[in-house]
């Protein structure tokens, strides 16, 4: 088994088709088929299940994909470290950012960074924390600035906390619960909700809070992983959601207010998340330092 075979295998796994993978790799389909058969023979295992419309990974194929992805990331990290040690500049920074960072502070930091260093190139990907961390783990991103999850979710990752913020239940200004001085937790179970998917951090926090008091979170009326969409729905309806006070203070939070729920304190930490034991480029490290300075200067 060699690196070329692994590269071929990962492309087949990604495309789900030998013909499409061969085209992406710039080789013939018969050549790719021979490469896959040789790999299966060397491992003495069937990796691909042929289907009428492509191929699917077998259980052994899924296992190999996981390890091959890890090898690919380690090789990229090794190349980056060697480049850093030999003073060759990689000027591209691939950054993942949570919604609150995209709306505040990060645009200014990025604009100033490229003004200081005209050779710097920055790719910014936004999304919910779980999505960004998956991209970080597969090597698609150099680092992430977003909410820092708890427990096993950060295994193998290095985190630096930059901010802390309250997590609050939110509704439109004028919502009947927002007019109350305090709302009991069980009352939340009688409301309708717009929430991100069940794997998303803030929704998990809300569900855990309700569960700690013996209640289940109602199935959301609307589910979306778009923060902008969710806030717009809340603004234009009587649905409740969950957000941070930082979002409410931003332009995106106009027309939305928090609901004061008794004994419902929740805190979210945000900051820099990177792969452990990974050497980043000089420009990536300089951008991280700039983000840290900006957060400290604003007293976040």
**What pLDDT sits at residue 81?**
63
Over its length of 300 residues, how does the chain's per-residue pLDDT go in tens digits? 788 888 898 889 888 889 888 888 888 989 999 999 999 999 999 999 888 888 899 999 999 988 888 777 777 766 666 665 555 456 889 999 988 888 778 999 999 999 988 888 999 999 888 889 888 988 889 999 998 887 666 778 999 999 888 899 999 999 999 989 899 999 999 999 999 988 888 898 899 999 999 999 999 999 998 888 999 999 999 999 999 888 888 878 899 999 999 988 888 899 999 998 788 888 899 999 999 999 988 765
Say what the pLDDT of residue 168 is: 94
What would the 3-class secondary structure string for the chain be? CCHHHHHHHHHHHHHCCHHHHHHHHCCCHHHHHHHHHHHHHHHCCCCEEEECCEEEECHHHHHHHHHHHHHHHHHHHHHHHHHHHCCCCCCEEEEEECHHHHHCCHHHHHHHHHHHCCCCEEEEEECCHHHHHHHHHCCCCCEEEEECCCHHHHCCEEEEEEEEEEEEEEEECCCCCCCCCCECHHHHHHCCEEECCCCCHHHHHHHHHHHHCCCCCCCCCEECCCHHHHHHHHHCCCCEEEEEHHHHHCHHHCCEEEECECCCCCEEEEEEEEECCCCCCHHHHHHHHHHHHHHHHCCC
* Structure confidence at residue 85 (pLDDT): 58
Q: What is the pLDDT of residue 278?
A: 80
pLDDT score of 271: 94
pLDDT of residue 199: 80
> What does the pLDDT read at residue 77?
66
């Amino acid at each position: 088994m060699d690196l070329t075979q692994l590269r071929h295998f990962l492309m087949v796994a990604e495309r789900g088709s030998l013909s499409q993978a061969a085209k992406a790799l710039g080789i013939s389909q018969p050549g790719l088929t021979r490469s896959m058969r040789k790999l299966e023979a060397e491992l003495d295992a069937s990796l691909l299940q042929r289907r009428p419309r492509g191929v699917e990974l077998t259980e052994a194929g899924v296992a190999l994909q996981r390890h091959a992805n890890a090898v690919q990331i380690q090789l990229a990290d090794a190349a980056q470290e060697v480049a850093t040690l030999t003073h060759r500049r990689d000027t591209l920074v691939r950054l993942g950012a949570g919604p609150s960072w995209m709306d505040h502070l990060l645009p200014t930091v990025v604009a100033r960074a490229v003004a200081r260093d005209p050779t710097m190139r920055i790719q910014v990907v936004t999304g919910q924390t779980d999505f960004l961390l998956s991209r970080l783990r597969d090597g698609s991103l150099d680092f992430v600035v977003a909410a820092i999850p708890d427990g096993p979710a950060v295994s193998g990752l290095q985190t630096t906390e930059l901010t802390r913020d309250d997590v609050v239940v939110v509704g439109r200004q004028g919502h009947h619960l927002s007019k109350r001085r305090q709302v009991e937790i069980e009352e939340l179970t009688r409301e309708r909700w717009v929430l991100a998917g069940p794997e998303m951090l803030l929704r998990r926090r809300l569900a855990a809070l309700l569960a700690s008091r013996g209640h289940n979170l109602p199935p959301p009326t609307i589910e979306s992983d778009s923060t902008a969409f969710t806030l717009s729905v809340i603004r234009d309806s009587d649905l409740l959601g969950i957000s941070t006070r930082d979002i409410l203070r931003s332009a995106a939070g106009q027309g939305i207010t928090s609901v004061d729920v008794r004994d419902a304190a929740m805190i979210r930490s945000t900051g820099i998340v990177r792969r452990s034991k990974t050497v980043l480029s000089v420009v990536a490290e300089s951008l991280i330092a700039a983000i840290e300075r900006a957060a400290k200067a604003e007293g976040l």
